[in-house]
Amino acid sequence: MRIIDAVTLTELKYIVAVARERHFGKAADACYVSQPTLSVAIKKLEDELEVKLFERSAGEVTVTPLGEQIVQQAQSVLDQAASIKEIAKRGKDPLAGALNLGIIYTIGPYLLPDLVRQNIARTPQMPLMLQENFTVKLLEMLRAGEIDCAIMAEPFPDTGLAVAPLYDEPFVAVLPTSHPLAVRESISSEELKNETMLLLGAGHCFRDHVLEVCPEFARFSSNAEGIRKSFEGSSLETIKHMVASGMGVTLVPRLSVPAEALKPKARGRKEPEPMVRYLPVHDGEGREPPMRRVVLAWRRSFTRYEAIAALRNAIYACELPGVKRLS
């Protein structure tokens, strides 16, 4: 085997991206280059190494066994290179430079408006580069070094990450205003079991949280004996509209409840009637209401500790109505 003249960090970044995406076009998009540029660079690297890194077939790319080892080592080299840059930045200002933050779909729309505002006010030199995705994908991106930290809900597989609890967030039931139970001040999990439950689609961890509260709906998530007691939506907001139209009821995290939905009506003012009613879930007998724990996770090798602390402080500066802070 002839000696390799030089393997660049860019080439290593390309092969890691292809291994992750299993698609040259998607990998090129992730690296912000054209597909021909990425393909030529990888072919050049394969020629220099005199090994085949990827098996290419119609619509599918797989990593060869030897390629898997090389990709793993490439990721390690990229992590080390990133650490050198981070150490240098930290010596000047640990808060200087963007922080790559991942966040799950059922937290992002409700926490980010306040969080971004707080972050700009506190650490304008540390803009947040945001990546919204499923928990499984965010964990992959954390391991690959594509994001620095992520706001997620437990539980998730232990991947050797550092984890800091942020808050416990109760679930709230959403019913159409025409529902007989909508006049109540609260509702129990037992009562919800008699209703048609609207769920998020597969892949959303909040779907699993709801099924923990009402596990019997798991068997109704597909047609069984001609009966269907659960329906799926792509987002919490879509599901709320499905509830308003009378298709069923659902559970949502407390931060997703609009502030105006919990305000008492002003006397003498004519306001449009709400289409849904939000009710706390109480199970009695001293049992905790159903809730999820929201945490901040980051790689243990990530050296910008001050940036993590600043992000946590910005989160705690947010209003966070109805949740139990865990600082």
Provide the β-strand partners of residue 42. none
214-272 pLDDT tens trace? 665 555 444 444 334 555 667 888 888 989 988 888 889 999 998 877 665 555 555 45
- Would you state the pLDDT for residue 214? 64
- Would you state the pLDDT for residue 4? 45
Instruction: List Cβ neighbours of 155 (8 Å cut-off, separation of 6 or more).
Output: none
**For residue 268, is it left (φ>0), alpha (ψ between -120 and 50) or beta?**
left
Beta strands in the chain (DSSP E): 54-57, 60-63, 99-104, 128-133, 149-153, 162-176, 197-200, 230-233, 250-253, 276-280, 291-298, 324-325
98-153 pLDDT tens trace? 899 999 999 999 999 999 999 999 999 999 999 999 998 999 999 888 899 999 99
Instruction: List Cβ neighbours of 137 (8 Å cut-off, separation of 6 or more).
Output: none
Q: Which of 33-42, 51-60, 87-96 has the highest mean pLDDT?
A: 33-42
Domains in the chain, ordered, with CATH? 9-89 (1.10.10.10), 94-259+273-327 (3.40.190.290)
Per DSSP, the three-state class of 216 is: helix
Return the half-sphere exposure (C-beta side, CA atoms, 13 A cut-off) of residue 157: 9
Dihedral in degrees, nearest 10, Cα atoms 75, 101, 134, 325: 130
Q: Which of 164, 202, 105, 140 is nearest to 307 (CA)?
A: 164
How many Cβ atoms are within 10 Å of 215's Cβ, its own excluded? 10
Number of H helices, E strands in the chain: 10, 12
How much of the chain, in percent, has pLDDT values that exceed 90?
Answer: 43
